[in-house]
Amino acid sequence: MIRIELPQEIADELVANQLAIRPGTRSSTVQILIAGASSAATVISLLQGPDTFAKLAAMLKNRFGGKQGVTVKIKGKRGTVDLVITNQTDLESLAKMIKEGLVGEFD
In a domain, 62, yes or no: yes
- Total of domains in the chain: 1
Using the predicted structure, report yes or no on whether residue 90 has a pLDDT greater than 90. yes
In a domain, 104, yes or no: no
Cα distance between residue 61 and residue 22, in whole Å: 23
In a domain, 28, yes or no: yes
40-74 pLDDT, tens digit per residue, is: 788 888 888 889 999 999 998 988 887 788 888 88
Q: DSSP alpha helices (H): ranges in 1-107? A: 8-16, 52-64, 91-103
Q: What per-residue confidence (pLDDT) applies to 35?
A: 81
| Structural domain boundaries, residue 57 | 2-97
In a domain, 58, yes or no: yes
In a domain, 37, yes or no: yes
In a domain, 107, yes or no: no
Amino acid at 95: A
Stretch 29-36: mean pLDDT: 79
In a domain, 22, yes or no: yes
